[in-house]
Amino acid sequence: MKCSECNETEILKIHRPENIKCICKNGHIWYEEYDDNGGKNIRPESYELKLEDTLFPSEKVLYYKVLDEIQKNQSLFTSSNAEEITSYLIDKCKFDKEEIYKLFKKIINYYSRH
């Protein structure tokens, strides 16, 4: 799937009862219908959003890498503050600073609403 405006392939699909909201990484938004309304998409069993459902594909990759680091270094992550953890992920793991901050912002926003 590609955005028809910019050809971006990183697409987020949010399943809602009335339709699917699609958002490309550049912020373009469009809607698709479910198959029972003439579209090609099958309705999900549930419309409940998990954190992973709110992440673009590249963000999911980074998210799982962060989870893997947490698993490998649990003592560091339980005894360090947010600044130390962020520095570790950027300096030691070589994760992109901007992408880490965007990911953390999305995680915080998700959990502040749920």
Helix (H) or strand (E) holding 44: none
Q: Residue-wise pLDDT tens for the chain (114 aa)?
A: 899 999 999 999 999 999 999 999 999 999 999 999 999 999 999 999 999 999 999 999 999 999 999 999 999 999 999 899 999 999 988 999 999 999 999 999 999 987
Handedness of CA 46, 39, 12, 23 (dihedral sign): negative
Helix (H) or strand (E) holding 63: helix 57-72
Q: What residues contact residue 56 under an 8 Å CB cut-off, 6+ apart?
A: 10, 11, 12, 25
Contact (CB, 8 A) for 35 and 42: yes
What global pTM score does this model have?
0.83
Q: What residues contact residue 102 under an 8 Å CB cut-off, 6+ apart?
A: 59
